Structure 1
Amino acid sequence: MLFRYSLVFVYFSVILPIQAQSNLTIDSLHHSLLRAETIEEKVDIYYSLAEEWAELDFDSSYFYAEQLNNAAIKSGVPLHLIKSNRAIGLAFDYDYQLDSAKFYYQEALNIAERIRDTANIAMLQFNLGTVELLKGNYVSVLPWYNQAVELLEILQREEGILLNIFNNLGIVYRRIDRYEDAITIYHRALAILDQVRDKQVRADIFINMGNAMISLEQFDSAEYYYQEVRAFAMEQNNRLDLAFALNGLGVVAESRGDFGEALKYYDMVIREQGIEEDYLLFSALRYKAEVLSKIGLFDSADYYFDKAHKLFDEEEYPEEMKDLFLQLATHFERSSQFKKSNEFYKKHYQLKDRLISEEVIDRTSEYEERYKAQEKENEIINLKLQNEEASLIAARQKNQRNIFLSLTMILLMGVGFSIYMYQVKQKVNKRLEEKNLVINKALADKELLMKEIHHRVKNNLQVISSLLNLQSNFITDERANAAMLESKNRVHSMALIHQRLYQNENLTEIDLAEYLDQLIDNLEQSYTNPDQEVEIELEASEIMMDVDKVILLGLIVNELVTNCFKYAFDGKKSGLIIVRLETQNDMIKLIVSDNGKGMSSPPRVKQGSLGTLLINDLSKKLKGELSYDLNEGTTVSIRFPYISKSA
């Protein structure tokens, strides 16, 4: 069975045709199934039948996948369970039930990872990446594909899957307008092709390279690739690839202003009978309408745009309809129908915003929730200890009252009875001592537990920091690496707090000056640049502050100092950053300044970076006033109320 080497995109793309001998293959498998005796034979045949039927008929594919699943459950063999889950996933995948496909692929991947089946892990990572691509989640595609490529290159086999991944990565790069990266990845695919055996695959990749060249407006190169595909398609009588090539050549001719030649190519596709891909007809119709609109034949253009519009709807084919809406908007603008033009521009940008988005994940709130949960546990322990202590004090007071009454009675009853009450008092005191020992032990256990909690939180945050550091080793994108470093520093800023809590006797407050000194030292090491000498000065006296506010303040200082390192000293060989804390009655003022190049205006919160959003949000949580001074570098001040608990 052939995998889908690429997906529809902008002008056109490739979905490999089903092999002519598929029905013969299925018949042969049916005969083999009748003769199969062992469960191993049946599992392999069920899997092959489910795979073959996936491109032809969902019900048949799902039927054999279910048969395979029943056999796998009966055998309990992990490899059988991997195959059954993947077979069900393939059935849903080719029927575009993508959420169901993703569920079964993930189930299969979990089993493969448990038994460390590297080949199946790579295959399923490819499947999951392709599902994300079909759903339009382009940012989610890259991690799956990159992991699969890494495993396959280690295995040095499964070149067919590698070709699929390279080709699909090209689609992703084109969809996020990184056309040079798409061309590079297509060349990697061509490098592992067998030029004689894989002529069809070569043609498929050439179509995608032609698409990318058109996006880069390198029309001569695009024409070369399309002519190569056209020659191959005519030689093989492959009408599908011929239609792709003709549409592409029409776009090239249109770009050169040769509208007559472009219309000739588009008409050849429109007149072609028996092309299974509606997208090819859709493309030819809208391209022809575009040309007719350009030469002023607006009524004819309306006719062909309408035919194209009826083929697809925006829910099922949002990428294609996004491009059609842009063409319609331009067409109605040419024909002075500005109201309609404006409507289609709106539709175009609504779809574009829905399809292309940036994933930003802020883990800070998650860590905050974990810390609050642990604080609640600590409060419960404190309340229990306080209740026990109150009970013991009440018992002690009651005993004292009894002793007083007893002494009164002793005075009345005489010396003999006094001796007896003395012995009673001794026993009571002994019991009180034992209870005091229990109280002291409980308090010591509480303190030890609190330190252990802070220690574990620190260790957990350190593990997260290490994971971020490890992940950054596998990321080549500089912006992504920078984001990983910033996230690691945020985690480290919180880990320092818990480290100080379990090392100190005071479990509720931290010396802010000592903490900031450690935090700044870590940031200075993270952003060390041998070509640039940047000094950091800390001006702060001892201030004991509760943990909640230290966490917020630490994250703010982390973001401000990080911004200084990243932006303040571009083009400078040296610089100075000053972090200052000033106490003013019941207020504290944090000032972070640099002598760098400064900013033209304060950053806007809605248009700012994650760091800007964090600084603004955390300042509000401190109930602070945030201000910027842009004279002689940049100075950021935050003034907030604070009364120490120990005051």
Structure 2
Amino acid sequence: MKEKGFHIIQLLPLLFIMTIGTGFSQNLNHKLDSIENSFNEVSGEERIERITTYIRDANFYSTKHEKFLPYIEEAYQWEEEHSNIKLLNRIRLGHINLLLAENNKEEAVRKAQEILHSRTPISSKDSVSVYTFMFNTYTEIGLYSKAWEAIRIRDQVLSNNQNPLFGGYVKISINDLAKIYLTTKKYNKAILQYEKLVEIAKSEKNLHYEAGTYNNIGLVYLRTHQPDSALIYFNKSLIVWKKKLEGIRYLTFRDSSFFDIVGNNIGQVYNDKGEYKKAISLIRKGIETGKKNKEDARIVSGLNLLSQSYFGLHQTKKALVLLDSASYIIGKNKSISGQRKTYENKVKIYESLGDTKKAYIYYKKLVAYNNTMDSIGKMNRTTILEIVYEVEQKNKQIADQQTLVAEAEESTELQKDKLRFLILGLLLMLVIVISLLWNSFQKRKRAIKLKEKNEHIEEQNDIIEKALVEKETLLKEIHHRVKNNLQLISGILELQSSKIDDDAVKEIMKQGQNRVKSMALIHQQLYESEDLGKIDFRKYVIQLTNDIMIMVNDAKKNIDIDLDIIGFSLDINTAVPMGLIINELVVNAFKHGFSIKENGTITISLKALEEEYYQLTVSDNGTGLPVNFDLNNSTSLGLRLVKGLSRQIGGNCEFKNGTGTTVIIKFKNEK
């Protein structure tokens, strides 16, 4: 297990808060003694609750952990007698804190696994606490995949819980992400997480958290050998902290201690930049604060830093004296980290002095220390993994045994249930038989009524069908008679025109005859069609244009008609105007478009547009319209008729003059 460097001791805000709280130890110990006396005044569940509160708080501030063991045993014994699940988890959590204070991570993990795999319910708050502990433990020993899994489950618990008291865990969650990114040396990602924390702190106006996070960002830059960037964030941290203290007359230990912590970090920056004299005053101040508050960890860290400053100033004797002092403190308090850094600094100093013998001695100590710590780390990882596996297997066995017991109980109950079901089955069968007989009677009764109704409906359908056949026959007869009448009118016009000598009048009569024929053709299509409401428009246009060509085409000219019409069906209200429009435009093309041309083509196109709209296009490659042609001022009856009929079907008419004439009509086919 690798020992953390001295310059990242205050890397996390929560750790920072715990560190600067040590100055209150005497007062808090006195307070905890009062709590201990208070729960001796009560008994039963209230006493156990006070004991768990005492254990939870006391292990942070006292080193006499053995005094808590009798209380732990008492709490477990009381819970076993009274089966209070809620208190059991609180007792276990307090026990975990106590084990951590004794640096017994293996047993703490075992207790945590017991909580997580227990069949007894666990509150969301307790679940979050346990998974946070497991995350920190897995991260510390390098089991990063399990650390990610722990934080994922914990954050899922948080996201599913709407308790406003859990709001602070959002910052903790982000902070934990930063921690694991730091441990895995993904420094840029760690900084991104800290920047999120800064934004949250600003939005909450939490100057305490904002200052601590700026300090952490500075430590990341310090770790990545970017002293200038580190200095910027350390100074930001101090600015925010000073702003927090505005208006406060008396500074607490926590208030003043923060300046020492950040000052110590700035001292490290100056060491890295080679500005050793600036570093010395800041580091000394931190050491003095550590001595005042009996904080061995801070003293050792400061002595190592200060030795680097004097080594940088080539004052090697002072540097060695400081390192000896650090070694002495570490020797008295084995739980203090810093031994690796002390050995590294001594190796560096003796190498600079040319004393290779002592340099080699401390180098061997450094290697031995590293090997020991690595072995401990590997052993811790192995032990914890074994504990996790052991607890999982144990709980699996318990679950299997409980399943077998449940199956046995279920089998006994099953025999009883069979007898009950047999009796109930007989009763049910009796009810079913009666119900079936009743339903059969009702079914026959309904069948008779249904048969009578169906016969009545069939009679009505026959009447309706006969009426529809009669109506259809009548409509066909009407269309047939209308067609005959229109043909009669056309014949009369033809006879009348044969007796007229005036060619102009004769032409007018001929045009009228064509128009009547176009309408007659529609009625012919209708009575020949199965659908009396609509006609096949393509078939209609083919027959119409054939009739027009017979009537108006000059045998000396070669004029073709090209149709681009897919299978459309139009109702009579649209088909009649459309037939008249096509008649007028085709006749007009024959008469005027090809008056001086012997060859040409007339194209008729009908295409579907969006939303039931259609576009009729009639074009020719004849001589085209006059240059100054205006439809609104045209005296041509045919063109005026085209315009009027277009409006009748809700369309608009557009004339284009190019290589011949093109007429475009857009309309909607009403269904």
Report TM bin, short chain.
0.3 to 0.5
Larger Rg: 2
Higher relative contact order structure (alpha carbons within 8 Å, sequence separation ≥ 6): 2
Please, what TM-score do these two structures have when normalized by structure 1?
A: 0.47
Please, what TM-score do these two structures have when normalized by structure 2?
A: 0.46
Structure with the higher helix share, 1 or 2: 2
